[in-house]
Amino acid sequence: MKYCLSHGVKEGLVESPLDWPGVHAAGSLVHGEPLEGTWWNRGKEWAARNRGLDYGVYDYATKYLVAFAQLPAFRHLSPEDYRQDVAELIWEIERENEKRRDGKPVAGVEKILKQNPYEPPTRRTKRSPKPLFHVASKRARDDLKAELAAFLTEYRIASEALLGGNLKAAA
């Protein structure tokens, strides 16, 4: 539950799960109210558009209420105690990530809402490119690179011999 509630906070986008500008379970779990969302049937919109029909924004939309049940491990708690436990978990998430950020500001709701959802994130990832080899030491990596270079050289020689019709040299 903590992992799910942490989305948006652990990435440094907002300070609290309750600040997330999109759909998020945190507010619903803390306040005990269902989430309301709208699903647009883009397939029906597309079909209507292809048939030349005029339609309104909500003609092919369905509103849904999503209510969250208590997790089985917490069924022994009253709804108020459950909401209090979730609120304490959110507070813990906020404190942990505040320490992790070490004074760096979060992106914030305004920046999140300005971002085009159809483009890659503007933040650079913390990941470096995957290594060619996973090894325990620099020497082992150097040895593997040398072995790879020797293999590729032999492979090219065999490939050229095979293309030239020299099956003996290719072998």
CA–CA dist 111, 120 (Å, integer)? 14
Classify residue 107: in a domain, yes or no. Answer: yes
Low-confidence ranges of the chain (pLDDT < 70): 121-126, 170
Classify residue 58: in a domain, yes or no. Answer: no
Q: Note the pTM of the prediction, 2 decimals.
A: 0.61
Residue 155 lies in domain? 138-170
pLDDT at 127: 74
Query: Based on the domain organization, do 97 and 160 belong to the same domain?
Result: no
User: Could you tell me which residues are beta bridge partners of residue 62?
Assistant: 39
Query: Based on the domain organization, do 81 and 19 belong to the same domain?
Result: yes
pLDDT at 97: 95
pLDDT at 37: 87
Domain count, the chain: 2
Residue type, 79: P
Query: Based on the domain organization, do 22 and 95 belong to the same domain?
Result: yes
* Rounded alpha-carbon distances, angstroms, from residue 12 to 22, 48, 102, 103: 15, 41, 11, 11
pLDDT at 117: 81
